[in-house]
Amino acid sequence: MKNMGLSDLALVNPRHFPHDEAIARASGATDILDTAMVVSSLAEALTDCVYVAGASARPRTLGWPTMGPRDCAERMMLEGKKGKVAAVFGPEKTGLHNDDLDLCHTLLTIPTNPDFSSLNLAMAVQVVTYELRVASTLDGGPGFESEAPPATGEEMEHFYRHLEKVFAEVKFLDPENPRFLMRRMRRMFIRARPDVNEVNILRGFLTAIERTRGPR
């Protein structure tokens, strides 16, 4: 990270931290460890983010929007003008789970030899941070200007919980057999990228439905 000019590190539920081995491996970049944010969940780490890319090499049954590291880095630079962005990497042995990708706007996949596609975590991070370094030197242009800032991860999570609650109340969703309904809804709204005002309108609509139904 320090090689490529990045310093904002968040660690999700690390097994050991701080740790002498981490300090030894940092080799001159201990300032990044000293300021690292340690959280208990990925959702907590992404609370104030407006755009998130999740790195994974594994194919998924339910399709996610997918980008290569170069295009993704350029997109992150554009989105970074609107708010905080993040690249997410999973544990080396297991990678990211689908529940983790539910919090991401795009799946970031590094093109490799399909017969030997696995990269260790350090190499994957180096590829992505390099592309972010390159993208930071480019003029990405003004991008799309909205009248309001993009909804943050926390605001979207509140919306998804509200939506799921109303779906269940109107019997559109069976809590005992939800299948992939909410995951598909997440994918749809991730593509739409609603801003704060739009999310407030949607939540107001859901609240109106609840009022119309009255107490149950």
Residues of the chain with CATH 1.10.8.590: 153-213
Q: CA 40, CA 13: separation in Å to the nearest integer?
A: 5
pLDDT in tens, 83-122: 999 999 999 888 899 899 999 999 999 999 988 877 899 9
For every residue of 17-51, DSSP letters joined together read -S-HHHHHHHTT-HHHHHT-EEESSHHHHTTTEEE
pLDDT in tens, 21-70: 999 999 889 999 999 999 999 999 999 999 999 998 776 666 678 899 99
Fold of 10-135: Alpha/beta knot (3.40.1280)
Q: CA 21, CA 23: separation in Å to the nearest integer?
A: 5
Residues of the chain with CATH 3.40.1280.10: 10-135
Q: Is the pTM of this model over 0.85?
A: no
Fold of 153-213: Helicase, Ruva Protein; domain 3 (1.10.8)
CB atoms within 10 A of CB 72: 25
